[in-house]
């Protein structure tokens, strides 16, 4: 299959739906074989429904419907050894790994004084430790392949303060720094590492239940709500829009871009 990432193999976490699914389908549509991983089970503390095995099956179906190939596995990104097992097994099947998309994450919006220790811990465990685990199991395969691209999905909240999400904002600034730190050391292996910073997206994470939780926090303190306003006249974007940025970073078109923040954010971080 010809395409912008033809011949490459890409790992995508949180791939059962939403942003991860969009990334996997877009990469496969441009010729990559994809390793799609998701916990497919209850996420800690979130206000929205968790992904299921059927959701991951649907991602595989969509990849295959477009003529692509997907190897699927269930693993919690918080579990380093389980994730390593799934990735190593998939690489054995597909032969190599060229792209790592660390996408899995959670968001639990609350006013600052309603954040529990459990919410803070769970958010950092998934969003920060999970990204570290993903890179740690994926990067050795990129070294073996002679180079590649690591793409860390952060958020506009990793470039600009966003209210009512102290744990989420903390985590997204953390992985922005993590991407730069890995970029510095992995460059000797011709591995590029960049972070992606979208604005709000129409995914399960952006569902009505989460919006209700955010609205409850804003009702207590309306003024900071203006910080969510996009510069462009759109309220929300689609995961397929962000997948175009992921595709660019996965492709050789971005071969000299590393240690940068790429923001398909509708201008929210500058407004």
List CB contacts of 255: < 8 A, sequence separation 6 or more. Answer: 192
Which pLDDT score is estimated for 2? Answer: 84
Q: Which of 48, 164, 168, 228 is catalytic?
A: 168
The tokens for 105 are 């994450």
Contact residues for 64 (Cβ-Cβ < 8 A; gap 6+): 70
The candidate with the shortest Cα–Cα distance to 244, out of 236, 255, 235, 253, is 253
Residue for token pair 């912008």: 4
pTM equals 0.97
End-to-end Cα separation, the chain, in angstroms: 41
- Rounded Cα distance between 244 and 228, Å, is 22
pLDDT on residue 209: 78
pLDDT tens figures, 245-265: 999 999 999 999 999 999 999
pLDDT of residue 112: 97
Listed as ranges, residues in the chain with pLDDT below 70 are 1, 206-207
Per-residue pLDDT reduced to its tens digit, 156-213: 999 998 999 999 999 999 999 999 999 999 999 999 999 999 999 998 776 677 788 8
Q: Return d(Cα 61, Cα 228) in angstroms, integer.
A: 35
* Catalytic-residue membership of 168: yes
């Amino acid at each position: 299959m010809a395409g912008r990432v033809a011949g490459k193999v890409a790992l995508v976490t949180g791939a059962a739906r939403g942003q991860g699914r969009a990334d996997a389908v877009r990469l496969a549509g441009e010729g990559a074989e994809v390793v799609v991983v998701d916990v497919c089970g209850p996420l800690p503390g979130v206000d929205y429904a968790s992904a299921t095995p059927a959701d991951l099956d649907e991602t595989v179906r969509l990849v295959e419907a477009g003529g692509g190939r997907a190897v699927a596995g269930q693993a919690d990104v918080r579990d380093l050894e389980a994730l390593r097992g799934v990735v190593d097994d998939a690489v054995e099947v597909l032969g190599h790994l060229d792209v790592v998309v660390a996408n899995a994450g959670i968001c639990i919006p609350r006013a600052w004084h309603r954040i529990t220790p459990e919410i803070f811990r769970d958010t950092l465990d998934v969003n920060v430790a999970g990204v570290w685990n993903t890179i740690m199991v994926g990067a050795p395969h990129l070294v073996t392949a002679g180079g590649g691209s690591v793409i860390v999905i952060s958020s506009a909240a990793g470039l600009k303060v966003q209210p009512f999400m102290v744990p989420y904002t903390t985590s997204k600034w953390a992985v922005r720094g993590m991407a730069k730190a890995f970029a510095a050391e992995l460059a000797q292996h011709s591995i590029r590492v960049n972070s992606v910073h979208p604005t709000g997206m129409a995914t399960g994470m952006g569902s009505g239940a989460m919006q209700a939780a955010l609205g409850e926090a804003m009702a207590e303190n309306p003024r900071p709500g203006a910080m969510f306003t996009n510069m462009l006249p759109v309220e929300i974007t689609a995961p397929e829009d962000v997948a175009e940025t992921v595709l660019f970073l996965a492709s050789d078109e971005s071969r000299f871009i590393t240690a940068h923040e790429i923001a398909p954010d509708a201008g929210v971080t500058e407004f």
